[in-house]
Amino acid sequence: MGHSFELPQEAEVGATPEEVWAAIATGPGIDSWFMGRNEVADGVVRTAFGQYTPESTVTAAEPPARFAHASSTAEDGRFVAYEFLVEGRDQGSTTLRMVTSGFLPGDDWEAEFEAMSRGLEMFFATLVTYLTYFPGRTATPVTEFGPPVADWSRAWEILYGALGTPGHAKPGDTVRFAPAGLAPIEGVVYYANAHTLGVRTPDALYRFLQGFGGSMVAAHHLFGGTGAAYHPLDGTGDQGPAWRAWLDHLFAE
């Protein structure tokens, strides 16, 4: 049968409409809160992470008030569309509304919808956190995938243990962890749900997501701080191998 959906989300942020526009309608801005590497050019939004390289067509671009883009519709009816509505408020704040809509085909759409919903909650929370703490800055994204996970309850227990949090982490909790090859990281949980966890530090946003493909995903945004916690100890500037090795260490059977 399949399922049509519309998921609206809204927040007021302490950023200007122009800063919000840069975050939602430019490649470097999207890099700073979404997934993977992004490009907005020639009326197309392109994203690349892992083996997944979706493209969507810009359907509205009215800076700084409205930006929208949508994937093509597959033969089975599958598509996803994003619309951002931006309204300036008094004293430099902005109301941001993000509406995700689309269609999921098949009789087994519920599991995919659940994963998508929990992921979208995290993405929007990350966008709000980015606009609150890092407006005008751009990040280097790091996206790495761990080994296949057979027991997600156990996988989250392992992750929480590595972060030093008892039970299920919640917003406001302090976490500390030190992947091999990286200086120790200390931050505050800014969002958590059953499928995701987000941690904010002065120079980064670290996220862990229960990938629908069956592995834990590290999807981070690094804002170019000068602190030792920000760079691999080998000096290459690429944290990807260190995070991939850490995921392998935690979740390998």
Q: Which amino acid is at 94?
A: T
Domain of residue 99, CATH code: 3.30.530.20
Residue 157 DSSP SS3 = helix
Q: What is the dihedral of CA 160, 162, 164, 166, to 10 degrees?
A: 30
Q: Which residue do the tokens 């995290």 mark?
A: 122
Q: Residue 144's CB: how many other CB atoms inside 10 A?
A: 22
Q: What is the pLDDT of residue 50?
A: 75
Which residues fall within 8 angstroms of residue 126, CB to CB, at 6 or more apart?
A: 33, 34, 190, 191, 198, 205, 207, 221
Q: What is the pLDDT of residue 167?
A: 77
Residue 12 and residue 102 share a domain: yes
Residue 48 and residue 11 share a domain: yes
Residue pair 162/177 in contact (Cβ under 8 Å)? The answer is: yes
The partner residues of 61 in beta bridges, in order of sequence, read 67
Residue 84 and residue 148 share a domain: no
Of 42, 19, 44, 22, which Cα lies nearest the Cα of 31?
A: 22
Domain residues for the domain of 23 are 3-133
pLDDT range class, residue 143, cuts 50, 70, 90? very high
Residue 148 and residue 103 share a domain: no
Residue 246 and residue 182 share a domain: yes
Mean of all residue pLDDT scores within the chain: 92
Q: Which residue do the tokens 């969507």 mark?
A: 56
pLDDT range class, residue 237, cuts 50, 70, 90? low
Domain count, the chain: 2
Residue 16 and residue 116 share a domain: yes
What are the pLDDT digits (tens) for 170-199? 999 999 999 998 999 999 999 999 999 999
Residue 100 and residue 127 share a domain: yes
